[in-house]
Structure 1
Amino acid sequence: MAVTIDERRRAPRTYGNWRRPTSAGLFGLGTFGTYGLMIGLVVVVFTVMIANLVTAAVVFGVLVLAGATLVIRDVHGKNALSRMGARAGWFRARSAGLHLYRSGPLGRALWGTYQLPGILAPTRLSEHTDSYGRPFALLYTPAVGTYSVVIGAEPDGASLVDQDQIDSWVADWGHWLASLGNEIGVEATAVTVETAPDTGTRLRREVEANIDDDAPEFARAMLREAAASYPVGSSTVRAYVSVTFSATPRAGARRRDPDEMGRDLASRLPGLTASLQEAGAGATHPLSAQEVCEVVRIAYDPAVAPLIDEAHAAGEWPEISWTDVGPSATEASWDSYRHDSARSVTWAMSAAPSGVVQSGVLARLLAPHHDIARKRVTLLYKPIDAARAAAMVEADLRAAEFRQTATRKPAARDTAAVRAAASTAAEEASGAGLVNFGMLVTATVLDPAKEADARAAVDNLSAIARLRIRPVYGAQDSAFAAALPLGLVLSKHLSLPAEVRERI
């Protein structure tokens, strides 16, 4: 019997074809912007009829100037109107003193507690038990009516793993995101990968627990010296997956309270964690209320991390309540955020990688870096249900075709956009899910003098990942909170809805 071995190697699998949502319009404007342009031209015509040409010319000049603030965009896609709005919002907040926060018995927070600042202030935390008997924390945000659960993960990574297995994990992760679009009440999900210095407490505890008293003195001294010196410069990597649900299961229904939501999620969490394991997340478990409190407490004050690790090493669990996990003092500036013992800078993704990429494109960005004490990379996903996805891809295709046919000589970018929109529509028609996504990157340093090094490191890492990011100017405190694994949905906290922004 002859055996034939096919030694042809398959080409590496690539990913891409992501598109920013657009709307049909003229001269680079959206739908609402085009309507405003038409109304302005009508006003100019009536001005010519009622007044004179000089007045009409002035009105036309004002119209052109207003259109320029919408059409002219920077490298990050921000027009002059959005930049002026950010500046005005920051000036108003700074004038009112909202960029400063003081809590505790001598602070300005109510009840003399260390309450969380900003958009996290009204949140409430409760604990429930799922059908497997595991406690899980439920974070309620009453301002927007959402509940969030946080799942801890221990991904194996791609080291010494076959490429076929990695491709399978990526496919399963895509299926998991697509399945969320069919879950009742799911608003969004986020993946947070946090790197931090290793305190060495766990290694010392493991060594001390396994040292034999009858061993030679030299061997015991060597083990203790290794336990004391080995953690220096090492890092730990933690991953979290947060899933956010709406408090109202359907339109017109009443808002559910935490007990009702806890009973509903108790039977759904085991399925979510099991499917995450198939996507390469490793051992997954929902975080308890105590674990969530520790994560937030360390994020706002990294100096307490060694103390909490030492308490765990001693077999103790420090009791931290949700009303006392906040910082004692914070100060938000235009491009940075000072909180207790650290200073942080948060960037937001303004453009996804152009072209196609491989599965390891974010590996360097997610890995620890010696110039950054603590780094938090949060991928934000907003699944879209199948009923809305079909209409969205068709509307996007029509908008791309409209921009291509708006001029006699369409630009190459418009032609490529039509091809990408058609490909997306074809994939959605064949059963693929549709997901809006974004990214936040937070770099935290303990020494303010190292902030410039951290900024340069993040810029280099984003360039390697082929990402285009920009600091969240004027909203560093809110962006810092959104990057935490708490399931906040930023689009629900905007004064101007994202759907309206896309159509201007």
Structure 2
Amino acid sequence: MVQVTIESNTASSNRTNTRTYGNWRKPQSAGLFGLGSLGTAFLLGAMIFTVVVVMVAGLLRGVIVAAGLLVVFLALVTRDAHGASLVSRISTRIGWSATRAQGQHLYRSGPLGRALWGTYQLPGIAAATRLSEHTDSYGRPFAMVYTPATASYGVVIATEPDGAALVNQEQVDLWVAQWGHWLANLGDEAGVEAAAVTLETAPDSGARLRREVELNTDPQAPAFARQMLGEVVQRYPAGSSTVKAYVTITFSATTRTGGKRRDADELGRDLASRLPGLTAGLQATGAGAARPMGAQELCETIRVAYDPAAAGLIDEAHALGQTPDLGWPDVGPTAHETSWDGYRHDGAFSCTWSMTGAPRGHVQSNVLARLLAPHRDIARKRITLLYRPIDPARAAAIVESDVNAAQFRMSGTAKPAARDVVAVRAAQATAAEEASGAGLVNFGVLITATVTDRTKAADARAAIDSLSATARLRIRPVYGSQDSAFAAALPLGLVLSKHLKVPAELKDKL
């Protein structure tokens, strides 16, 4: 995850009044030789242990112990272009081998599947989720997804973004500022653990257009006009796409640390009065009409994600005025197979990438435009921005620790590198902005590309690599965890960092 301060003055203007954005930093821990605080403690402990071995067992055994510890030290400091250490990559490989050996990369559901209950429930980290529906103070139904493993509830808000076409730059800058304020205010919301923005592009089935034309066509219209409308209905959907956007907010089931867990009904009553304010704030960010998603609509969204072929059937049903009978036990795939760098589910194949480096320097507001746009080589593309708001009580300590870590790295050598000097300035700027009232947010990005033909997977990978370069993002496939990353990119309210066996805070300090 990468940290960014949310405030209007984080944007700078050049001579042409083009506003740019930046100053995001990856959390770091003070240490020696590129290590964190825990890694440095391990290094010092290893040196002391080696001296003790030399004094007790002799020089030869001390050299052997020092050589073994040196190998471990090199495995910790040797990192690839994405910042992953050799220890991390080896542990990932071992975990993947254990997963394959136990057959956990395969999933079969339904009456003929391996599940004893014979349903099509979600696999992996989303298997235990439960769905409930409630009504807010405006009388709108909203669905809540409960994740027992993390004791959290996810609420999904459907939005209809206005887009930037024919919109002047001043309005775009205002939308970005309002979005920053909305994210910063999440840190003040009681119980908010995370937020996610999911933008999905997919081919248009044309069912809605056909139904609309049929309902509004006059039987007495000239034959030429009716023929022209029929040709439009047949040809227009061939190259068109639909863009859907969802905002998922994850709330904790407990009001405080060690407090009593609230059930779905209790939390639903609490959120009933809070959701109208959250949706109203989203409308000011350019998200368009924002409304909470009901249980039926959420079931259809998740079902289509795992089985893209169902999208046409669901659109046809809605065009005929019918509602598909879908429940939460029916939205999972019939079968899936997870590979090292891909995920096969029902009749589709997907690959998910994660962001390992935010854009360096400053970027403009349209930096993600090409990445979010539909692409001809990708049947369905899902971009999910993950946010972890940090409450103001912790934000001050975090930015001060980051300043101390940056200064420690710069002062650790007689001739500090230019990057270390710039890092100190950026850390100090972040601390100054936080002290003036800015919010602090951890963020990450997941990119999922889905194709219905396995032979087109290579084209989809090449397209994502090209699009990520235009967005100035450094990404890599989520090796060995494609099924979990696929589920995390869906609007389910999953918080990946809480599903890790080794906490993310501990990894950052190695």
Give the shorter-chain TM-score range: over 0.9
Q: Which of residues 473, 479, 491 in structure 1 aligns to 2:485? A: 479
Aligned to 2:86: 80
TM-score by length of 2: 0.97
Structure-to-structure mapping, 1:459-498, within 5 angstroms: 459-498=465-504
| Distance of 2:482 and 2:352 partners within structure 1 | 6
Residues of 2 paired with 1:248 and 1:126: CA distance? 18
Q: Deviations over 1:440-478 (max 9, x none)?
A: 000000000000000000000000000000000000000
Aligned to 1:123: 129
Give the match for residue 367 of structure 1: 373
Q: Which amino acid aligns with 2:359?
A: P
Query: For structure 1, which segment, 204-213 or 363-372, has the greater mean C-alpha deviation from structure 2 after superposition?
Result: 204-213
Deviation at 1:410, TM superposition (A): 1.3
Please state if 1:177 is matched with 2:183: yes
Equivalent of 1:437, from 443, 460, 464? Answer: 443
Q: 2:77 aligns with which of 65, 71, 87?
A: 71
Within 2, Cα distance between the matches of 1:287 and 1:472? 29
Tell me, in whole angstroms, the C-alpha distance in 2 between the residues paired with 1:297 and 1:361: 31
Alignment of 1:291-440 (within 5 A): 291-440=297-446
1:5 corresponds in structure 2 to none
Aligned length: 497
Aligned to 1:242: 248
AA at the equivalent of 1:412: A
Deviation at 1:263, TM superposition (A): 0.4
Give the superposition deviation at 1:252. Answer: 2.2
Partners in 1 of 2:218 and 2:103 — Cα distance? 60
**Residue from 103, 125, 132 that aligns with 1:97:** 103
Hey, what does 1:44 align to over in structure 2?
A: 50
Deviations 1:101-139 (Å, cap 9, x if unpaired)? 000001011311011100010000000000000000000
Q: Which of the numbers 164, 167, 187 marks the counterpart of 1:161? A: 167
Written as runs of structure 1 = structure 2, the 5 A alignment for 1:132-151 is: 132-151=138-157
Q: Work out the CA distance in 2 between the residues paired with 1:148 and 1:440.
A: 18
- Shift of residue 437, structure 1, vs aligned partner: 0.1
Q: 2:259 aligns with which of 229, 253, 256?
A: 253
Aligned partners of 1:412 and 1:72: how far apart in 2? Answer: 21
- Structure 1: distance between partners of 2:474 and 2:134: 40
CA displacement at 1:10 relative to structure 2: 4.4
Q: Which amino acid aligns with 1:417?
A: A
State the SS of the aligned residue for 1:55: helix
Q: How far is the alpha carbon of 1:485 from its aligned partner?
A: 1.1
**Stretch of structure 1 that moved more, 337-346 or 64-73:** 64-73
Work out the CA distance in 1 between the residues paired with 2:128 and 2:53: 51
- Describe the superposition over 1:207-243 as per-residue Cα deviations: whole angstroms up to 9, x where unpaired: 1111111111111011011111111021000000000
Shift of 1:9: 7.5
Q: Give the letter for the 1:63 counterpart.
A: L
Question: How far apart are the structure 2 equivalents of 1:25 and 1:110?
Answer: 51
Alpha-carbon distance, 1:404 to partner:
0.8
SS at match of 1:330: strand
One-letter code aligned to 2:150: V
Q: Out of 268, 274, 283, which is 1:268 matched to?
A: 274
For 2:173, the aligned partner's letter is D
Q: What is the identity, as a one-letter code, of the residue corresponding to 1:160?
A: L
Correspondence 1:21 to 2:38? no
**Deviating 4+ runs (over 6 angstroms):** none
SS of the residue corresponding to residue 439 of structure 1 reads strand
Q: Which residue of 1 aligns with 2:41?
A: 35
Residue 55 of structure 1, CA deviation: 1.6
Structure 2 SS opposite 1:194: strand
- Partner amino acid for 1:399? A
Q: Indicate the residue corresponding to 2:228 in structure 1.
A: 222
- Give the structure 2 partner of residue 152 of structure 1: 158
Please give the secondary structure, in 1, of the residue aligned with 2:353: strand
- TM-superposition CA deviations, 1:143-165 (whole Å, max 9, x none): 11000100000011111101000
Deviation at 1:342, TM superposition (A): 0.2
1: CA distance, partners of 2:81 / 2:484: 23
Q: In the alignment, which residue of structure 1 is the partner of 2:7?
A: none
Q: Distance in 1 between matches of 2:304 and 2:338?
A: 18
CA–CA separation in structure 1 for the residues paired with 2:42 and 2:408: 18
SS in 2 for 1:348: strand
| Equivalent position amino acid for 2:202 in 1 | A
Please, which of 453, 465, 479 is the counterpart of residue 447 of structure 1?
A: 453
Per-residue deviation at 1:52? Answer: 2.1
Gaps spanning 5+ residues in structure 1: where? 1-7
Three-state SS of the structure 1 residue aligned to 2:174 is helix
Distance 2:269 2:92 in 1: 41
- Once residues 498 and 299 of structure 1 are traced to their aligned partners in structure 2, the CA distance between those partners, rounded to angstroms, is 28
Q: Measure how far apart 1:51 and its partner are.
A: 2.1
2:68 aligns to what?
62
Provide the C-alpha distance between the structure 2 equivalents of 1:358 and 1:283, rounded to a whole number of angstroms: 25
Superposition deviation, residue 63 in structure 1? 1.6
Question: Which letter does structure 1 place at the counterpart of 2:321?
Answer: G
Q: Which amino acid aligns with 1:42?
A: I
